[in-house]
Structure 1
Amino acid sequence: MRFRKPFAAAFVLLIFISAAAGFTPPDYTIPTYKQSDKVLHFIAFFLLTLTFYWILETSRRKVLQLTFTVCTLGLGCVSEVVQGLLPIHRDFDYYDVLANVLGSVSALALCNWYHKRMLERKRAARGYGAVPGDDDLDVELGENTEAQETGVVRPTVDEELERWDENAEDWETTEPEPVNGKMQADDGDLGDGKKRND
């Protein structure tokens, strides 16, 4: 897991700016758009989520869950509760929480889409794409499954060694080839050997 310092620095700077704007007493004037600070809440949490998403370089799922927990739930909801509890003469506002969550979720959706697209381009550049000609088929969904999906799997060397009995009197030295999931009978001459019944 890699730590991206420019995004971390931008996130910390945005946290300080947002905290200064959100926790100042109401006698200070904060710029608003048409007498509403909801646009500022949306933009602030959009930018906070956007920068936080790219701080850690790890799997897309982990980043998505961590960013949702920290930015959307933690900062977006808890900051308004704290703002209402502190004696700075600011009130808790459900519409502020809604603007925070909408800004955060919008940035999260945009980052997730771009991250997924970026990973697909990296895989395609490395040659990890689908087999040529089968681009529309998805084997994981059961499309285009043929003989390779019969369910018959040959035992691995480890599995054979686990079942190996060193006290067995006669064990095969050659491995018979399976036919439709069953072992093929050997038609060769067995000589005077005894047949095992196990």
Structure 2
Amino acid sequence: MRIRLPFAGAFLFLVLLAGYAGLTSIQVDAVINDKVLHTITFFLLTVVFYWILDTSRRRNLNFTLIVCTGILGVGSEFLQGFLPNGRTFDFYDIVANIVGSVAGLALCSWYHLHEEVDNWDENLEDAWDEDEQAGKLDSAKDEGLKTPGASSAGEVEGDSKKRAD
């Protein structure tokens, strides 16, 4: 299992940015709807997190569901409710987090499955070398095998003259 460092760096940056915005006392309700912001944030976090690990689709799906939806999506709201920063716990923020995370997870899972189906035969054993050799043998049988002795004796097909060396 390989870690894709650009995605890990982007995820770390987004988590720090979202954590700062979500746990400070800054209120952005007047500028943009809070639920839309939660949905977009968790959509982006989930999409970036999904591609950190280079592993199977099922493992990515399960791991991303646990981390982004469970721990970050639900846990961040409970943490926000416990901290004395003037922010309160809101059940609908959890719903918006889950909706954004599940939408991102569905998109990534669909794309990953689509790529697996497109490339399903790239990792299979192929018999191309055997097919080429079998094709050469079949064509040699059709043309008749030529012996090296006839061609190296200096005979020309159709004429049977000897070399004059």
Settle same-fold status: TM greater than 0.5.
yes
Residue 50 in 1 paired to residue 51 in 2?
A: no
- Would you say the 8 A contact 1:21–1:30 is kept in 2? no
TM-score (normalizing by structure 1): 0.60
**Structure 2, unpaired ranges of 5+:** 126-165
Normalising by the residue count of structure 2, what TM-score does the alignment of the two structures yield?
Answer: 0.71
Same amino acid, percent of matched pairs: 50
Q: 2:12 corresponds to which residue?
A: 12
What is the DSSP-based 3-state SS (H/G/I as helix, E as strand, rest coil) of the residue aligned with 1:123?
Answer: coil
| Deviation beyond 6 Å, 4+ runs, structure 1 | none
Q: Which has the higher contact order (CA 8 A, sep 6+)?
A: 2
Match runs of 1:11-160 below 5 Å:
11-25=11-25, 28-30=26-28, 32-33=31-32, 36-125=33-122
Larger helix proportion, structure 1 or 2?
2
Q: Distance in 1 between matches of 2:113 and 2:69?
A: 20
For residues 125 and 53 of structure 1, what CA distance do their matches in structure 2 show? Answer: 23
Residue 30 of structure 1: CA displacement? 2.8
Given that 1:53 and 1:63 are in contact with CA atoms closer than 8 Å, whether structure 2 keeps it comes out as yes
User: Considering only aligned residues, what root-mean-square deviation do their CA atoms show, in Å?
Assistant: 1.5
User: How many pairs align?
Assistant: 124
Q: What is the deviation of 1:122?
A: 1.4
